[in-house]
Amino acid sequence: MKVLVIAGIGIALLLDSFAQTAMDALRMSRWHLWSTARGTAVGSSMGAVGADASVMLSNPAGLGLYKRGDFMFTPMIQGTFATTDYLGELGKSSRYNFSIANIAVIDAGDNSYYKGEPKEEGWLFVNWSIGGQRLADFNQRIVFNGTNSSNSMLDAFVVRINGKKPYDADPFYEGLAYQAKLLRIINVDSSKYVHVAQGVPVFQRGELTERGSIFEGFLAVAGNYSNKVYVGGSIDVSVLNYKRSFLFEEQDVNNLAVDFDKFTLSRNISTNGYGFGGRFGILYWLPIPVRIGFAMHSPRFYSLTDQYGSVIESVLDTSGSFSVESEQGKFSYKFVTPWRVTASMGIIFKKIGFISLDYAFVDYSTMYFDFGSETGPATFESSVNTTIASRYGPSHELRAGLELKLAQWFMFRLGGGIATSPYSPSAGIDAPTLFFSGGIGVREKEFYLDFALSHVKWAEQFVPYTIPGIETPVVNTAISRTSFLITFGWRY
């Protein structure tokens, strides 16, 4: 997967008490499409093939193709690696995590017999499933450093506090910097300020750590009508857990400032909540060995709560050391993701394998926040939603897969896909997504094991802080993620 993302992470993103932005909306709306190892190995393109729990990511009608009960469990190990370029200095970091990609039980209800005679028409099977799958993974760590001779984060604080009395400053940012003696007022009447590292080159170091996921639980049912038409739907509950820790440090390594050694800003935010949604799909088996399908995924309606806080620590040459901590902020709100429409096709080669193709359409400009009716949040809500509508646009996803049955008990799989940029042309950001995967499967009469390996690459850019009218340094980041999945299954 390769994606270019432009994000204002540091001051640009975090200087408001209401922390959610357009970039957060995109993060909560994009799916990574992990489920079973079999589905991942074929590029999450099982929509029309069916009879695998990964169809819950695309078309629940595929559940109707099961003719036996099934239980599966899929653990996943991931390694995420980042290389940064900041002010000409390179940095490297990594993060590993273990998670559950999928767990599900499927019950196949055989209605194909009527008064002891085989039934070939009508509702032959009505199957149901309950389980969960990992929709998104937020785990990554980025470190960067470099010497900045042009500006400082303290310059951004000065711009924000100028014209304000100290008690009117943002208590999560410049207000803390003032209390930590990093900002000095030079004109009480006009509320003009300077900072303690004015005109001094500073060594800057930063670390951004993100954790969390979206895990979805589902209850699904699907029917098989005359072995030609399959209809299915699900009710889905998504649990979102996200934590972000941003640490930024500046130091006067050349000892040029009169009363400044270093300072550190630590910013933490957690987002937790749940959302509801559903899927509905249909499959049709053509007279030739080809199945086609169509599905619609409703928006996810989230109820979320943010908790956030900041700490600034300063070490000054003559004034001493200070540590100032903000109160813990808390804000509850609602968020709605876009509709998703999918179409799929599977070419089935009996006893040999299949070729699968899935297409999805998502319009990211339709995401929106609901911050409530209070004046402050409502004003910010309008601003963020306007940004979402103008920055994002429709995205097209195409995924393909291949499974070959090399022996009665052994399968080989390959997959891949592409998604067009979620950004609108006016945003000037071209961010296509590419991904590749593969795997093998071992089948016995009742038990099976599937293995999958997927590799993802993308690029990000973010700025630790912004100063109006001044160019501030950008962190250019190349990230790769490798995921290894194993599905343990039992059919009954």
Which residue has 């039992």 as its token pair?
Answer: 490
Q: Which two tokens stand for residue 339?
A: 């509709």
CA–CA gap between residue 13 and residue 27 (Å, rounded): 14
pLDDT over 90 at 220, yes or no: yes
Listed range (8-22, 421-435, 440-454) with the worst mean pLDDT: 8-22
Cβ-based burial of 192 (10 A; exposed 0-12, middle 13-18, buried ≥19):
middle
pLDDT band (50, 70, 90) for residue 114: low
> pLDDT at position 421, please?
87
Is residue 213 a contact partner of residue 97, using CB atoms and an 8 Å limit? no
Ranges of H-type helices in 21-152: 22-29, 37-41
Distance, CA of 273 to chain centre: 15
Task: Kindly give, in sequence order, each residue whose CB lies less than 8 Å from that of residue 480, ignoring residues fewer than 6 positions away.
Answer: 80, 81, 455, 456, 457
> pLDDT at position 149, please?
95
Listed range (268-272, 347-351, 430-434) with the worst mean pLDDT: 430-434
Task: Kindly give, in sequence order, each residue whose CB lies less than 8 Å from that of residue 428, ignoring residues fewer than 6 positions away.
Answer: none
Give mean pLDDT, residues 416-437: 86
DSSP state letter for 318: T
CA–CA gap between residue 266 and residue 312 (Å, rounded): 6
Average pLDDT, the chain: 91
pLDDT over 60 at 428, yes or no: yes
Q: Do the bridges between strand 4-7 and strand 410-419 make them parallel or antiparallel, or are there none, so unpaired?
A: unpaired
Number of C-alpha atoms within 13 angstroms, CB side, residue 355?
A: 3
Largest CA distance in the chain: 95
Q: Where are the domains of the chain?
A: 4-491
Phi-psi region of 33 (alpha: psi -120 to 50; beta: other; left: phi over 0): left
pLDDT over 70 at 338, yes or no: yes
What beta strand segments (E) does 108-151 contain?
113-114, 117-118, 123-137, 140-148
Task: Kindly give, in sequence order, each residue whose CB lies less than 8 Å from that of residue 473, ignoring residues fewer than 6 positions away.
Answer: 86, 87, 146, 148, 150, 204, 463, 464
Give mean pLDDT, residues 439-447: 95
What length does the chain have? 492
pLDDT tens, residue by residue, 21-74: 888 999 999 988 789 999 999 999 999 999 999 999 999 999 999 989 999 999
Determine the straight-line distance between the first and last CA of the chain, rounded to whole angstroms.
Answer: 36
pLDDT band (50, 70, 90) for residue 19: low
Q: Which two tokens stand for residue 43?
A: 């590029």
> pLDDT at position 123, please?
86
Phi-psi region of 49 (alpha: psi -120 to 50; beta: other; left: phi over 0): alpha
Overall fold of domain 4-491: Porin (2.40.160)
Phi-psi region of 50 (alpha: psi -120 to 50; beta: other; left: phi over 0): left
From residue 85, give the alpha-carbon distance in Å to each of 7, 80, 144, 460. 15, 17, 7, 11
> pLDDT at position 243, please?
97
Number of C-alpha atoms within 13 angstroms, CB side, residue 414?
A: 3
